[in-house]
Chain A
Amino acid sequence: DAGVIQSPRHEVTEMGQEVTLRCKPISGHDYLFWYRQTMMRGLELLIYFNNNVPIDDSGMPEDRFSAKMPNASFSTLKIQPSEPRDSAVYFCASSPGIDTQYFGPGTRLTVL
């Protein structure tokens, strides 16, 4: 298996623009997680899905953030409008259950 796939790997955008991050989980994994990592706040869980259904979105910072999982092999995290404080590395991870989470390579987002 190719592992968790994320795109793009790097994104540079200007404040106010819409940003869409994409994730393809490992086939057969029922759980998908979106994390954000910054130096100041560390690794934070934003939202997670089980069988394409959002289970816990309490970590989503504000209404500017939204996440969808239209099918078992694809998820998006959208930021609209983006702000400089959204600059971070965004990781997607997937898991088959109460087991380790497998992380993707991450998307490094810079908002100017």
Chain B
Amino acid sequence: ELKVEQNPLFLSMQEGKNYTIYCNYSTTSDRLYWYRQDPGKSLESLFVLLSNGAVKQEGRLMASLDTKARLSTLHITAAVHDLSATYFCASGQGGSEKLVFGKGTKLTVNP
């Protein structure tokens, strides 16, 4: 059974600082997704990583995938308050469209 673990689950950081959120998954996976959720809102797709070594960047966020280590990271550069949200990673397995989500990392960026 595929399991996805994120850490940390809660992250409080100051504006301007850098930090990384980690996403580990338990079995071989061919794709990894990152989503953002604002309080009371739906999930918004951020990144889709489909191969080992894939790196994608959008603004202050950069995601990478290491399939050999079964690890994806979401790096935050020079955080700003607008990045405060809950970030989810999700992993999928070949032959199925099913995704398994991590528990989410609640990020709070303080001025």
Binding site for B on A (CB under 8 A): 31, 33, 42-43, 45, 48, 50, 55-56, 91, 93, 95, 97-106
Contact = CB atoms under 8 A, between A and B. Distances in A.
B42 A101 contact: no
**Central interface residue in A42, A50, A105, by most chain B CB within 10 Å:** A42
Contact of A42 (B96, B99, B103): B103
B98 A45 contact: yes
Contacts of B28: none
Nearest to A99: B48
B88 interface: yes
A58 to B, nearest CB: 9
Given A42-B103, A56-B98, A100-B33, 15 more contacts: A31-B97, A33-B97, A43-B88, A45-B100, A55-B97, A91-B42, A93-B43, A97-B97, A98-B50, A98-B97, A101-B45, A101-B99, A103-B43, A103-B44, A104-B42
- Interface size, B (range): 20 to 34
B45 A100 contact: yes
B97 A50 contact: yes
